């Protein structure tokens, strides 16, 4: 007779297995090894980890291409890894390899969120983590803006906010007056000489 700790309570073939003692076994082909944040010497892309919250533990990994000087402007890309909310992380080799390649090809800064995974953290926890990350961007963005402005950096620094609008209003209604103004401001900033 199998021990009580080896008793399976939930089985999701090809994905994971949940044991009565609370252990989770993810199948080997659904996970990849952890990768330390580092500078990739081949591409010049640097990965850094940022703690968003210590309780609950919530982090992100930032991937930055090699900067070619103080006048270079780089867009920011928010990345939420796939994995059906039960597997994946920006700290794993699969994401690290993809995002390093993506940053190299696109010349963007990528911020990849490490939301908590199910089944240890049942839905809607991953959604809530992702929302908390998005809603926390304004204070961090404003702080970054102020620090960069005071640093003596010779590039252009702008902070744009559309008051009175919900998150992603410009995606849901791209032809409204405020969405058009936001899109124009962003395009103007990116395309300036």
Number of helices (H) and strands (E), helices first, in the chain? 5, 7
Is the pLDDT at 174 greater than 80? The verdict is no
Number of domains composing the chain:
2
pLDDT score of 118 more than 60:
yes
Q: Determine the pLDDT at residue 115.
A: 86
Say if residue 133 is in the same domain as residue 173. Answer: no
The answer to whether position 61 is within a domain reads: yes
Whether 60 maps to a domain, the answer reads yes
Task: Please tell me the predicted confidence (pLDDT) of residue 3.
Answer: 53
Q: What is the CATH number for 118? A: 3.40.50.1820
Q: Assess whether 57 and 118 both reside in one domain.
A: yes
- In a shared domain, residues 105 and 179: no
Range of the domain at 170: 160-193
Could you read off the pLDDT of 43-59 as tens digits, one per residue?
A: 999 999 988 778 777 78
Among candidate residues 134, 53, 45, 142, the one with its CA nearest the CA of residue 95: 45
- The whole-number average pLDDT for the span 93-103 is 86
Confidence of residue 31 (pLDDT cuts 50, 70, 90): low
Enter the tokens of residue 31.
Answer: 């996970």
Tell me if 138 sits within 8 A of 106, measured CB to CB. Answer: no
pLDDT single digits (tens) 157-173: 777 788 888 765 775 67
For residue 30, tell me if it sits in a domain. no
Clarify whether residues 107 and 124 are in a common domain: yes
- Give the model's pLDDT for residue 14: 75
Q: What is the DSSP string of 33-66?
A: -B----B-TTT--EEEEEEEEETTEEEEEEEEPP
Is 0.75 surpassed by the pTM of this model? no
Question: Are 111 and 82 within one domain?
Answer: yes
Co-location of 105 and 178 in the same domain: no
Q: Based on the domain organization, do 73 and 104 belong to the same domain?
A: yes
CA-to-CA distance for 112 and 90, rounded, in angstroms? Answer: 6
Q: Collapsing DSSP states into helix, strand and coil, what is residue 186?
A: helix
pLDDT for res 45? 95
Residues 164 and 129 in one domain: no
For residue 41, being part of any structural domain is answered with no
Q: Does some domain include residue 5?
A: no
């Amino acid at each position: 007779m199998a021990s009580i700790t080896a008793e399976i309570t939930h089985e999701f073939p090809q994905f994971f297995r949940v044991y009565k003692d609370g252990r989770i076994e993810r199948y080997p082909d659904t996970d990849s090894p952890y990768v330390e944040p580092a500078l990739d010497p081949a591409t010049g892309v640097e990965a850094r980890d940022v703690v968003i919250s210590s309780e609950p533990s919530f982090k992100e990994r930032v991937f930055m291409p090699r900067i070619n000087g103080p006048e270079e402007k780089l867009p920011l890309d928010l990345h939420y890894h796939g994995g059906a909310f039960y597997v994946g992380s920006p700290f794993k080799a699969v994401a690290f390899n993809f995002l390093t390649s993506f940053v190299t090809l696109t010349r963007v800064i990528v911020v990849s969120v490490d939301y908590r995974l199910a089944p240890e953290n049942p839905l809607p926890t991953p959604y809530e983590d992702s929302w908390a990350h998005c809603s926390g961007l304004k204070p961090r963005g404003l702080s970054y803006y102020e620090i960069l402005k005071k640093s003596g950096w010779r590039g252009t620094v702008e902070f744009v906010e559309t008051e009175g609008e919900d998150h992603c209003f410009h995606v849901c209604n791209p032809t409204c007056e405020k969405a058009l103004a936001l899109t124009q401001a962003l395009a103007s900033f990116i395309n300036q000489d």
